[in-house]
């Protein structure tokens, strides 16, 4: 173990009571964006705390948005800049009666800190700041430029995140972004994500007669529900293949490095099927290796029906020919798809296969995001977490989900990775009663981030 790592351990352990108290103060401020409760107070607290950690701060404002916080510690000699992302707002606490203790009066039980926001995201956010404080105390200098961007709207879908990035583009520029809004792996190993899928939504509505018609006339009246069935069946077949022309042309299979990463991700197909109660595993690949399953999960573009709505919805029966049928879908995109192009391909295909009256409404597009496993930030994060946690991180080439990760690269030139500092997802109770973070998880997060700040500058 390097001397610095040893010092980090000693310092953080010696200051654990103080660091826990700091988090408690943060957690006691009810900052619920969805209810517009305590947001200003929390932003003020956070700004003061950042200053105490040696960060030069600036409160960012946009009309109609909760304030965001910017912070920086610049080193004239540093060649690299990291941007840290987190959020200070939390989910509402309800249902209150299911909490074992007051969600805004943190307590420690069995080695865990219980409070709303403990792991999502106040514990993680604070770890990134205390990591700076720790490194400055132990090492006396920061070998990189460090920037912080903390928003107050993540729990309501980050409606102004892009606008903030555009408004403060120059301020926020960095080489890489680290998002600290996830947890370590359930096995106790650290966890890193190198990207996520892109996404968009679409509502497809087909129209039949000008009103619902008695079903006795079915031989002569178009049925919007049947038309929708036939249309959707032409979008994706029963082997789960997307049928849109040229749709998967740009999709690439995982490279050698990504395959190696996946070898190292714990994933038990049978356990997974058990958790979700899946009896018939789709695509007939129940006998594939665990890497095959992960490749399928992470490298497949998806077209998912989220909802179907047509005609009579009640109990019993109503002999009616529905004159309208809607499918709600989401589309997820993998590297190297261009989601805007994919949307055009879907639209063009739809107009080819369905000449009738149809409404197709696509939502905003989020691009996929992916950082190479060979990027220096990734190598640093792997090396640092391995040493701090004493075990190799679980490194996901990308998340199965989607989010704004690509915006950091597109707007700030700072491709994003996620480092999970919080409680393991399966036990964290994120967005639920009894949210928590392990005291050890919290302290390890501080150490890990401190070592990353150091190592990334030294490389």
Interface with its own copies includes 431 (CB under 8 A)?
no
Residue nearer to its own copies on the CB measure, 12 or 325: 325
Interface with its own copies includes 124 (CB under 8 A)?
no
With CB under 8 A as the contact rule, which of the stretches 28-36, 306-314, 420-428, 431-439 interacts with its own copies? 306-314
Cα-to-chain-centroid distance, residue 220: 49
Give CA–CA dist 387/391, Å, rounded.
Answer: 7
Smallest distance from its own copies to CB 320, Å: 5
Among 92, 188, 311, 413, binds its own copies (CB under 8 A): 311
Among 251, 259, 308, 360, binds its own copies (CB under 8 A): 308
Instruction: Measure Cα distances from 411 to 130, 164, 181 in Å.
Output: 28, 10, 20
CB 357, CB 207: distance < 8 Å: yes
Give CA–CA dist 197/328, Å, rounded.
Answer: 19
Residue nearer to its own copies on the CB measure, 246 or 292: 292
CB atoms within 10 A of CB 379: 14
Among 111, 159, 363, 390, binds its own copies (CB under 8 A): 363
CB atoms within 10 A of CB 26: 23
Written as six digits, the tokens of 387 are 């040493």
Binding residues for its own copies, rule CB under 8 A, total: 72
Interface with its own copies includes 318 (CB under 8 A)?
yes
H-type alpha helices, 32-113: 39-52
Residue nearer to its own copies on the CB measure, 45 or 226: 226
Smallest distance from its own copies to CB 355, Å: 7
Q: Which of residues 340-359 bind its own copies (CB under 8 A)?
A: 355-357
With CB under 8 A as the contact rule, which of the stretches 61-69, 93-101, 225-233, 428-436 interacts with its own copies? 225-233
Q: Which of residues 241-280 bind its own copies (CB under 8 A)?
A: 272, 276-280
Give CA–CA dist 260/268, Å, rounded.
Answer: 17
CB atoms within 10 A of CB 57: 18
Residue nearer to its own copies on the CB measure, 161 or 446: 161
With CB under 8 A as the contact rule, which of the stretches 88-96, 126-134, 294-302, 443-451 interacts with its own copies? 294-302
Residue nearer to its own copies on the CB measure, 3 or 317: 317
Written as six digits, the tokens of 22 are 């700091």
Interface with its own copies includes 210 (CB under 8 A)?
yes
The dihedral over CA atoms of 107, 112, 113, 114, expressed in degrees to the nearest 10, equals -80
Interface with its own copies includes 322 (CB under 8 A)?
yes
Cα-to-chain-centroid distance, residue 89: 15
Residue nearer to its own copies on the CB measure, 17 or 319: 319
Interface with its own copies includes 199 (CB under 8 A)?
yes
Among 30, 189, 332, 335, binds its own copies (CB under 8 A): 332
Interface with its own copies includes 173 (CB under 8 A)?
no
CB atoms within 10 A of CB 213: 18
Among 7, 9, 58, 328, binds its own copies (CB under 8 A): 328
Interface with its own copies includes 406 (CB under 8 A)?
no
DSSP calls for 372-427 = -TTSHHHHHHHHHHHHHHSS--EEESS-SSB-THHHHHHHHS--EEEEE-B--HHH
Smallest distance from its own copies to CB 213, Å: 6
Who contacts 454 (Cβ-Cβ below 8 Å, separation ≥6)? 4, 135, 139, 143
Smallest distance from its own copies to CB 360, Å: 14
């Amino acid at each position: 173990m390097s001397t610095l790592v040893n010092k980090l351990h000693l310092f953080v352990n010696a200051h654990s009571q103080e660091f826990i108290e700091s988090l408690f103060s943060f957690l006691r401020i009810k900052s619920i964006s969805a209810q517009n409760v305590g947001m200003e107070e929390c932003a003020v607290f956070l700004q003061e705390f950042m200053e105490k950690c040696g960060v030069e701060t600036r409160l960012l404002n946009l009309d109609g948005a909760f304030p965001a916080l910017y912070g920086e510690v610049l080193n004239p000699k540093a060649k690299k800049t990291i941007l840290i992302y987190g959020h200070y707002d939390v989910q509402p606490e309800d249902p209150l009666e299911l909490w074992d203790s007051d969600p805004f009066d943190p307590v420690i039980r069995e080695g865990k800190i219980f409070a709303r926001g403990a792991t999502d995201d106040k514990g993680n956010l604070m770890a990134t700041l205390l990591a700076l404080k720790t490194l400055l105390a132990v090492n006396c200098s920061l070998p990189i430029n460090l920037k912080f961007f903390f928003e107050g709207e993540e729990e309501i879908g980050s409606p102004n995140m892009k606008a903030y990035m555009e408004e403060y583009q120059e301020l926020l520029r960095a080489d890489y972004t680290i998002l600290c809004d996830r947890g370590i792996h359930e096995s106790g190993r650290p966890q890193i994500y190198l990207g996520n899928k892109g996404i968009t939504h679409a509502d497809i509505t087909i129209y039949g007669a000008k009103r619902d018609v008695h079903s006795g006339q079915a031989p002569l009246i178009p049925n919007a529900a049947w038309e929708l069935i036939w249309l959707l069946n032409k979008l994706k077949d029963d082997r789960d293949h997307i049928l849109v022309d040229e749709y998967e042309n740009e999709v690439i299979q995982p490279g050698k490095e990504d395959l190696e990463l996946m070898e190292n991700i714990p994933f038990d197909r049978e356990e997974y099927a058990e958790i979700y109660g899946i009896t018939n595993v789709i695509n007939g690949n129940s006998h594939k290796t665990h890497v095959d399953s992960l490749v399928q999960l992470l490298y497949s573009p998806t077209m998912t029906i989220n909802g179907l709505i047509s005609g009579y919805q009640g109990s019993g029966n109503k002999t009616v020919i529905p004159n309208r049928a809607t499918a709600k879908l989401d589309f997820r995109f993998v590297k190297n798809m261009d989601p805007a192009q994919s949307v055009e391909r879907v639209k063009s295909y739809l107009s080819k296969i369905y000449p009738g009256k149809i409404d197709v409404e696509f939502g905003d597009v989020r691009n996929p995001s992916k950082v190479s496993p060979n990027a220096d930030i990734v190598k640093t994060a792997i090396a640092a977490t391995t040493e701090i946690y004493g075990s190799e991180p679980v490194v996901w080439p990308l998340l199965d989900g989607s989010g704004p990760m690509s915006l950091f690269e597109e707007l700030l030139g700072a491709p994003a990775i996620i480092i999970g500092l919080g409680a393991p997802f399966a036990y964290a109770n994120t967005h639920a009663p009894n949210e928590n973070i392990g005291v050890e998880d919290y302290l390890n997060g501080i150490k890990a981030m401190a070592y990353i700040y150091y190592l990334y500058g030294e490389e």
